[in-house]
Structure 1
Amino acid sequence: MKDWREYYKSRICTAEEAVKCIKSGDSVVVGHACSEPQTLTRAMSERYQELENVKVVHRVGQGRSLYVQPKMEGHFRHISLFGGPSTRQAIAEGRADFIPRNISEIPELFTEGHIPLDVALVTVSPPDEHGFCSLGISIDYTLKAAKSAKTIIAQVNNHMPRTHGDSFLRVDEIAYFVPVDEPLIEIPRPEITEAEIAIGAYIADLIEDGSTLQLGIGAIPDAILSSLKGKRDLGIHTEMFVDSMMKLFERGIVTGRYKNIDRCKITFTFALGSQRLYDFMRDNPLMASHCGRYTNNAKIIALNDQFISINNTLMIDLYSQACSESAGTRQISGTGGQVDFVNGAWFSKGGKSFLCLSSTFQDREGKINSRIVPTLPPGSIVTTPRTAIDYIVTEYGMVQLKGKSTWERAEALIGIADPRFQDDLVRQAQEMNIWRRTQRIE
């Protein structure tokens, strides 16, 4: 690209100047998760009294999400593709809207015009010598959304790593550049419980050398890490790249040698973790970034043999329906990529998918409740249907439900429930006519 440096220099401005292009009635998409351009979203939010009915679209908001505050109602309307800590309350109170969608399908919401976009707010690395800026740790929907917007405003941050793969915007695609030197959002490592260590050990026993892994968010990936010593030549093809995966590579467990696509590469669409993780990704030829349409495409996932998908769920009923995103009618998160990877593993030669959950939880009143229930509470969202379920894992064991009848599934799930709840689950299974009295009580 000729003279990109002159173009870049002429388009540098402050955040306050850049967001003046946002008008009432516009739709604004925001970069995802830890790559949220916080200076830009803050400057936009501070204009709230000048604006009306501006839609703000994104998945997980890891920043403050000022535009969902009650005083912003009528000025901004958040359109959520995945509920997060800063946006759940607004969704619950009707001040934000939720769109259910698999990650693999989100880019097309923008490219096909289902969600028209006026402005994209993104974080990028400084331009390289060829005049390209990298979206770094969040390609996911951000790349396709930015290219679909009429105007791109980029927060240029030295802390954003330049990542290899399909992560780049040309300088001349960006209307305004706002230089900002602020640390990227980091996600602290979760504390690992004894239940999660037990779950990790069960799963690790079924991971064969040469397998390709996808792991979801939470403590389970770290728990599995400690159980994978001695494994060889594992690969990574995941939506979310986290610290535990980096450590698997550093310990020589991950090589990607037997992947059928992106061989010897770590395939990802976004990263959540520490600054050390982001530094590891910087200009690392090991990394292969792609949009969610690629990483989460079940047909592409299935091209890797022995694909292992590991995700969390919140609750499962005796019909083996898994709720991973809501507490009754309250939206907690979203479908994310769970169904994408469950389906991909299903069609992979030798593939396996695991849904993990601790057997119990403590409610606000201090009462212990079972996560394995007769039927899901009213309004609960079925994230992964029973037709797609493979393995379910709790700290009390692991069962494979693939090929099992309804009563066999109920019996297997009761067997890995907390023992304090098993007799009551049996009685309720009998009332539901999905118990064959093969194990426990009359």
Structure 2
Amino acid sequence: MVQCCSIERAVDEVLARLPAHIHMASPLGLGKPNRFINALYQRIRQLPERRLTIYTALSLGRPSLGDGLQRRFLEPFVERVFGDYPELDFLAALHQDNLPPNIRVQQFFMQPGSLLHSVQAQQDYISSNYSHAARDINAAGLNLIAQLVAGDPQHPGHFSLSCNPDITLDLLPMVARRRAAGETILMLAQVHSDLPYMPGDSEIPHDAFDLLIDEAERSTLFSTPNMPVSTQDHFIGLHASTLVRDGGTLQIGIGAMGDALTAALLARQADNEGYRALLADVDLSPWQALIDKEGGGEAFAKGLYGCSEMFVNGLLVLVDAGIVRRKVYADLELQRQANAGTLDASTQAGGIMVHGGFFLGPRSFYQRLHELSRDKLGEFNMTAISYINELFGQEQLKRLQRIDARFINSAFIMTLLGAGVADQLEDGQVLSGVGGQYNFVAQGHALEGARSILILRSWRESGGEVSSNIVWEYGHCTIPRHLRDIVVTEYGIADLRGKTDVQVIEALLNIADSRFQPRLIEEAQKAGKLPGNFRLDPRFADNSPRRLQAIRTRHPHLFPEYPLGSDFSLEERDLLRALNWLKSKFKLTEMLELGKAALDAPEPAAFAAHLERMDLTRPEGLKEELYQRFLLAALQETLSG
């Protein structure tokens, strides 16, 4: 029988019923009961005889406000979007490297880039595939699971694990076996009033929990606002969209490149003539044979099935657009009939369009889930991560469901020999984590008709310095080169599967930025991996942002800045563009350009609403006057461009 109690009473129960060392697991991302975790953390930090180890991932915190113009922009926005979201006390301690000596936090995935400078977080990071997390947490001595759940009067006697059935469902049989052997393992739940009630596998009975916090959590749900999609990202999404086969399976990740892919698929469906005109302008002839074999440019007559560890906003948008609509079935015979096209209409109503392990997204995503009817929600099955990320376990069924799968994941570095880097810097500092990337790459090779597609920006700019993301060598890799498959940049597609090293190098050179091709060729030749007389195909000698921008100018309606909507006001979108422009002007040789732009800045009246938003209508002192002039210059530059 579940025991209802306050947060403080729940802490009392946990301390009374568990041994001196509490091993608590809490879901990655959205599903953490932050107030309970904070209460337990604060109590144990005052009890040196007790110990607490927290096993989790993706601990979500508000973005850092910074200072200067960035702070003026972010502070009102963060207050509006994140509201009273309760920050995790342990996360603040990690940022300052002052966790109490009797508390540790072990994560297998971090909010990207947020804990690079935390010694404690870096040392206690666990490099583990998402599909192995439940196994590893259980083996570490798990004795407490704490999770947010959704409740619904229409489903009496049950809760929904909602945003996070991923690892919990995999832990339940392990917990049952240990309990049967006499161990004490507690499960605690707290209902969040705004979490969507997801039916299906994520529904579990009330009595699965030992403790239920009797006050529903009503604080603001953490959200991830859609960020602007750049020209670079749009072209990455465009190229990747040509590799998605109608009637197949789709997995995509979060972020601007995933949003760009979604935008391209939407255009392929709703404006096929314009989409094809854009493809013709880009000139895909070097990869047309691959596109004809693996993807296409036609609208989706059969539709796609979504199978993604993260149920992202883009997948929901694709459902609403009628692109993700192919249904799969839990019964082997029904799935065979569905694949053969012989399933009767009455049975089709019970199918699933999207399998997901967890979700996280913008506020509009949560609102859209709330708006869906119960029948429609039944077509989204939030389930165990083992079901999505692995083939073993119902393998025959999964193979029938996951036909023509395209597993599309991002990387930030590729070596010229085909290794991908997505989680960790060269010196060992962890940006995020492996997550499920390896799982999907492996499935891309194991499933008939499937392909693994790594997408990345071919170059980056930091502090005014531009560098290549395609390099000769790197001190770490997430995906080893023997699992290389397809790589996509804004300049095209590299099919690396089954190719020799020299073929792989040439294919990646063809989609590298031309500013870096000569140096890359020289390094490959020096290593003896490229013939001394190698010459780059002239078709790839103008891989430049300038060429892509010219193409974009000819097809402006196919390059929406916020293809999935935005939490930013119109003025904030202008300001974000301007601030990004200012950020790029750190290079010494560009400071004169910035200074001249400030001298030539328009009068404040030209951007009165923008200045009011930044509290710079009446600047006080020299610093604020400079802020105003720089901001006016940036607004003029970015809006006129």
TM surpasses 0.5: yes
| CA deviation after TM superposition for structure 1 residue 81, in Å | 1.1
* Change beyond 3 A, Cα 1:162–1:397: same
Give the structure 2 partner of residue 171 of structure 1. Answer: 206
User: Normalising by the residue count of structure 1, what TM-score does the alignment of the two structures yield?
Assistant: 0.90
The alpha-carbon distance between structure 1 residues 241 and 435, as it changes in their structure 2 partners (threshold 3 A), is same
Q: Does the C-alpha gap of structure 1 residues 322 and 302 become closer, same or farther in structure 2, counting only changes over 3 Å?
A: farther
**Comparing 127-136 and 337-346, the one that deviates more:** 127-136
After TM superposition, give the deviation of residue 24 of structure 1 in Å: 4.2
Where does residue 255 of structure 1 map in the other structure?
325
Aligned to 1:4: none
- Distance in 2 (CA, whole Å) between partners of 1:67 and 1:136 is 24
- Specify which of 81, 94, 100 is matched with residue 108 of structure 2: 81
Retained in 1: the 8 A contact 2:421–2:478? yes
State the alpha-carbon separation in 1 of the partners of residues 315 and 460 from structure 2.
Answer: 27
Residue of 267, 280, 287 corresponding to 2:380: 287
Q: What residue in structure 2 maps to residue 123 of structure 1? A: 148
* Structure 1 residue 96: Cα displacement: 4.9
Q: Which of 272, 278, 290 lines up with 2:366 in the alignment?
A: 278
Q: Does the 8 Å CA contact 1:359/1:394 hold for their aligned counterparts? A: yes
The correspondence for 2:159, drawn from 110, 127, 133, is 133
Q: Residue 61 in 1 paired to residue 59 in 2?
A: yes
Letter paired with 2:127: P
Alignment of 1:35-54 (within 5 A): 35-47=31-43, 48-51=45-48, 52-54=50-52
Which structure would you say has the larger Rg? 2
SS of residue paired to 1:336? coil
Matched with 2:456 is 357
Computed over aligned residues only, the root mean square deviation of the Cα atoms, in angstroms, reads 2.4
Report how far residue 258 of structure 1 moved.
Answer: 7.0
Residue among 21, 26, 32 paired with 1:25: 21
**Which stretch shows the higher mean deviation, 277-286 or 228-237?**
277-286
Q: 1:418 to 1:386 in 2, by over 3 A?
A: same
Distance 1:90 1:78 in 2: 15
Once residues 27 and 417 of structure 1 are traced to their aligned partners in structure 2, the CA distance between those partners, rounded to angstroms, is: 47
Measured after TM superposition, the shift of residue 330 of structure 1 is: 0.5
Matched, 1:371 2:469: yes
The CA deviation at 1:267 is 0.6
Structure 2 unaligned residues grouped into runs of 5+: 62-86, 176-183, 270-298, 330-334, 337-349, 538-641
| Structure with the higher fraction of residues in strand conformation | 1
CA deviations on 1:117-155 (whole Å, 9 max, x unpaired) are: 111110011265441111101111133346637111211
Greater fraction of residues in helix? 2
More divergent stretch after superposition (211-220 vs 77-86): 77-86
Report the CA distance shift for 1:375/1:120 in structure 2 as closer, same or farther (over 3 A): same
The residue identity in structure 1 corresponding to 2:58 is V
Q: Do the aligned partners of residues 434 and 392 (structure 1) sit closer, same or farther apart at CA in structure 2, a change above 3 Å counting?
A: same
Which residue in the other structure is 2:563 paired with?
Answer: none
1:274-300 Cα offsets, whole Å, 9 max, x none, are 343234445411111211111101355
Q: Flag structure 1 segments of 5+ consecutive residues without an equivalent.
A: 1-6
Encode CA deviations 1:145-178: one digit per residue, 9 max, x unaligned: 4663711121111212221222133222212212
The percent identity for this pair of structures is 25
| Alpha-carbon distance in structure 1 between the residues aligned to 2:305 and 2:122 | 42
Inter-partner Cα distance in structure 2 for 1:95 and 1:315 = 21
Aligned residue for 1:226, secondary structure, equals helix
Q: Which residue of 1 aligns with 2:260?
A: 223
Q: Structure 1 residue 240 and structure 2 residue 265: aligned?
A: no
Give 1:61's aligned amino acid: S
What does 1:197-212 correspond to in 2, within 5 Å? Answer: 197-212=234-249
- Residue 585 (structure 2) aligns with: none
Match of 1:347 in 2: 446
Say yes or no: does 1:296 pair with 2:389: yes
Q: How far apart, in 2, do the equivalents of 1:422 and 1:221 lie?
A: 26
| 1:13 aligned residue | 5
Q: Distance in 2 between matches of 1:117 and 1:90?
A: 28
Determine the C-alpha separation between the residues in 2 that align with 1:94 and 1:117.
20
Provide the C-alpha distance between the structure 1 equivalents of 2:188 and 2:461, rounded to a whole number of angstroms: 44
Candidates 493, 502, 505, aligned match of 1:410? 505
Task: Give a deviation string over 1:184-238, Cα, whole Å, max 9, x none.
Answer: 2111112211111001111111212111100012112211122123232111011
Instruction: Tell me whether 1:393 sits opposite 2:488 in the alignment.
Output: yes
* Stretch of structure 1 that moved more, 174-183 or 424-433: 174-183
Please give the alpha-carbon distance, in whole angstroms, between the structure 1 residues aligned to 2:316 and 2:416: 37
Q: Does 1:439 align with 2:531?
A: no
User: How much does 1:438 deviate?
Assistant: 3.4
SS of match in other structure, 2:148: strand
Name the CA shift for 1:295/1:134 in 2 (closer, same or farther; >3 Å): same
- Shift in Å, 1:383: 1.1
Q: Provide the secondary structure at the position in 1 that maps to 2:494.
A: strand
Give, in angstroms, the shift of residue 349 of structure 1: 2.6
1:213 aligns with 2:283: no
Q: CA deviation at 1:89?
A: 4.3
